[in-house]
Amino acid sequence: MYAWRGLVGLVKPTYRAGSLERFIRLMPDGVGVIPRYVGVSAGTEREFQEALAVAEERVAELAKLKVDLVVIQGVPPIMLRGYKFDAEIRKSLEAKYGVSVLTATQTQVEALRALKIKRLVGITYFKDDLNPKFGKFFEEGGFEVAAMTGCANVPFSDLGKIPAEEIYTQAKRVFLKVGGGDCIYLLGAGWDCLPAIEPLERDLGAAVVTNVTADVWATQKRLHIREPVKGFGRLLAEMP
């Protein structure tokens, strides 16, 4: 029997390969996944502002398919509207479509709190016109943001080609420059940062949280599953 432990609908911002496969492989056996796409392609603020209307259409489609949970992935569209908007959009969609809704922003905030994070160092692949707004989101959530710095120098369409070694190097550089913190936060599922998580945690003694691991952790909790995964950092290994 497929999906005997739960059926999850994913609303993905882009058609980019990688994060969907990672999510499915990290979820336990018995969890079914149905993806739907928004179609973000340029990664601009205007495109992100328009994305939520399309995301709502995808939530409606998934609700009709009787999924147990809808996870809206991709953090910029919600972060750009502020911390309070996150809870508002979830409650509105749940009331309108009768399905449980989880946002990637919510999964990350909950993961940081579960790990007892107070001060985070954020690394992103966005330009610095957006990064201060991302930092403000977490400050409004009660965290100290030591940095929220863009470290990628490639087109939005090529983010998946950034080597994990480069992500590690950039994250370590920024972390040490600002005097460290409890957590390194790697924003975005567009880059394949999962292989960098454990080396960063071992070398710097800080937790690492990113989109995919936070989504997997929070989805398991919503489905009342607890199946730790080794090799991708404390969050999935300990399942706090």
Distance CA 82, CA 107 (A): 15
Identify the helix (H) or strand (E) that includes residue 157. none
Distance CA 76, CA 153 (A): 18
pTM listed for this prediction: 0.95
pLDDT digits (tens, 9 = 90+) for 132-182: 999 999 999 999 999 999 988 888 888 999 999 999 999 999 999 999 999
Q: What is the pLDDT of residue 196?
A: 98
pLDDT digits (tens, 9 = 90+) for 24-42: 999 999 999 999 999 888 7
107-133 burial: b if 16+ Cβ within 10 Å, else e = bbbebbebbebeebbbbbbbeeebbeb
pLDDT tens-digit map of 224-238: 999 999 999 999 999
- pLDDT tens digit sequence for 52-69: 899 999 999 999 999 999
The answer to whether 120 and 185 are in contact (CB under 8 A) is yes
